[in-house]
Amino acid sequence: MTNSSINSLFLSPKDRLAVALDVPDATIAFGMVDRLEGTCRWLKIGMELYYAAGNSLVEALRGRGFSIFLDLKLHDIPNTVAGAVRSATVAGAELLTVHASGGGVMLQAAAEAAQAPDSPRLIAVTVLTSMDAAELASVGVSASPVEQALRLARLAKESGIDGMVCSAEEVSSLRQEIGPEAFLVIPGIRPAGASKDDQQRIATPGDAISRGASMLVVGRPITLASNPADAARAVLAEIAAADETSNPKR
C-alpha cells in the first residue's frame, strides 16, 4: 500500500473502518465475523485475541478475504521489536502498531525490519485515547495530550514511520505537522449517544473523518450491538456522509 493510495479521496468507507475484535478466543472471533455479514474489510486483532489464537487466526481470517490490522503496540528493546515485525510479516498482517514512546532507536529498528517484502505497514501509537492530561502527568509527562502526540509523531516520522495512532483531538494538529500523506488511525470512536467505556478522548465517526482521519477503529459500539452488521453499516454511512461533506467534488 502506498501513501497516495491509502489517503486517496476515492477510498470507499469500507477501507476506512477497522472493526476491533476485542474478544478472548478464536471461536468468538469467528462468530463475530459471521455476524458482521461482510460489512467490513478490515479487522483489528489486539493483544487479548492474538495471545490466545496467534498467527493461525490471522492466516485464517486473511483466507476469508479480510485485511488484518495487528494491534500489538510493540514496545521493547530494538532487536526484539524488529523480530516481532518479522513475525507479523510471516503471519500476513497488513498493519502493525508500535509504541512511539519506545524511542527513536527502537522505531528505526522496526522500520528497517519492515522493509522486507510483504511486511506490514507500521503505525506508531502516540498517546492512548484512554489517557488524559492527568494520566500523562501521573507517569511524568507534563505536556498536554496534543503536545505529547505531536512530539511522538515527529519522532516516528524522523525514524521512518509515517503512520500514527492518535485521538480525534490531535488529528488536525498532526495532519498539519506531518503532512497530508500521513496515515492517521483514530480509535476512541463512539457514535452519538454511545457509552464512553474506558475512553477519555472520543469523537463520533463523522467528526473524526471531517478532521482528517484516514482510518477509524471501532470496537464495542459495533461488537456489543444487538445487530453488529447494522451497527457497522451505520458507522459506514456516517463515514460516507462526512467524506461527501468534506470532499463534495469527489
C-alpha cell at 226: 444487538
Supply the DSSP symbol for 58. Answer: H
Query: What are 95's strand-pairing partners?
Result: 69, 121
Quickly tell me which residue has 503536545 as its cell: 147
Q: Which residues contact 109 (CB under 8 A, 6 or more apart)?
A: 78, 79, 81, 82
User: Which residue type sits at 223?
Assistant: T
User: Which residue type sits at 206?
Assistant: G
Helix-helix angle 26-35:228-246, to 10 degrees:
60
CA distance 67 to 83: 22
Would you name the residues annotated as active-site residues?
73
- DSSP 3-state of 211: helix
Q: Smallest Cα–Cα separation from 21: which of 54, 4, 37, 43?
A: 43
Residue 86: HSE in the Cβ half-sphere, 13 Å Cα cutoff: 9
- DSSP 3-state of 20: strand
